[in-house]
Structure 1
């Protein structure tokens, strides 16, 4: 059966090569689109790694040409923390979750390196405010004031990259990679490991992260400060006004804006969904065009082979047999096109392209393969039924 189908396909190779090319390129495009959507879907269901609900972001800025002494800033934060409805408060760097601000670095431990690490400044209350989950070691504490190296907390994926399967990493030294040949690299001492976090958005993956301790009561004079506040459920505009008035009561030269992290998340989500929606429209348009193209080619193919169909019917072939022949030819052609596409698609996980997990590529291949076979089967079904209805006398008379 298959040998006969291959012979029929080979006898019409000039016509079938165009159809084979269409199937191949359609598979490649569908594989790309499917991989993107599967990757985003996989990221969406991953744990966020922190609790952003009921957390507000405060942007405190000194007046024009002014700076805020750290001691005065600490006093302001103590007064805000004492307000009814405020559960916890932490001082951090400006790259708070869901914002379009990133601070990245490259770090090394021994011979291992990792780049594009999200780096954050954080005080001793950051974990309690943001709901980070420690899996090893501890968070920052006052005893770290005596540390000779700046204490740091790393995420689990950063731990795996730098230390592999080491049973314990607390106390290990991480150095900042400032370029080849650079001496006196900044060193950090690991005191804890957290679960992986996804701070950039709902569809972003787990980002290697590192939190570096803010030394309390230092002599730094800040131009602005980013503060995260965890509030009790049900708090709203009234508490926001109290926070703004409390900070203004210390010095009129400071300005404060209050934003909810949930609002930041939704703003980031709107910007992320727009290109995804456009990609979905392009993918749907591609599927429709592939279906129309296949249907048209098969319809034309049947009309060109009416004499062959009539002769086969005259020799005793049944209608279902004719229909099965056309479906079989189409599925064989689809198998050839998909096989070529799979050979190309398999290079992506082998080369670790675009830093995408191999499992995502595999699911993308399966989705593209299933969709192509479904399309070709549906498009071949109606033309094959028309071929089965052709009567031998009519087909031969036309010839």
Structure 2
């Protein structure tokens, strides 16, 4: 004997598996491929616009950051000041090594004044006519740290820094009449002959190098009365940590007398750079929100029209036993699939546009991961929200009302 409960259980509608929901949603897109393609294209254009705006702006900002970095926004200098007696102080010999241990510091180099050493083109130049040239000893890492480049010749290395070899600053080369360095080109440093092996271009971040004759650290200690103490230390740090590094440099360079250490202040360009970053971030968020809103309106419009056109199909499915929940799932899945297809296409198109424009402008190509991932996630969310009303509207249609529609 069959009970009422058994009949009720047999007539209960089956639950749709996830793959069935996707299959039913995709079927709705396949039955109207032209409409689905145009709708996905509209979403893709909106998402592509957002990704391209973010990508192009980020690429432009990266180019700006590189140009500002060349102006020394993350370069700090350390020099000795005066001690409590008012005399000229000196940095400890281990100051460079101690500064290099600071976590955010990415590069350290130094120069030192060689005492009582003057540079002359030859021994026929009168001693008082020094042309205001200073003789500095330099670490081999100096060009990388201060952004110096060579006009001609080569920089000091582990070998040449131990021998009488010199590199001239741009102004020093002009004053000494040295055009192109060679092993035969010699100048007098003190009373010693030095071969000129290189000439620097002007160094905007360290203009004191332009009028200097630079020699190796080891040869300065051996041939002149140089005590090995740096008189200027250059330190590069991570951009986000410039102020933090600045606050500890003096105490790190000379723990016993930090007040006798002079540290340059972070550049005003760094402040301008951060202000520009904040403005661009706000602009990107605003443009992205507008693009997503446009895409969401497109999805909602497409799904509402789809419901109106498919009333007979909805009524037939209801008559065959589909529940309101299954109808809602069908249209919601269709809306999500449509949004996902448009989002993926938009991300690909946006990345392609960004890459092409950045290459045309000779900029680095930068498409933030948050822009692509956020665009996809936001598209799906917006698509789901936009599909809720059509889905509920479709589910509320009664079978008789839907089938009666001409």
TM (norm. structure 2) is 0.48
Q: Which one has the largest radius of gyration?
A: 2
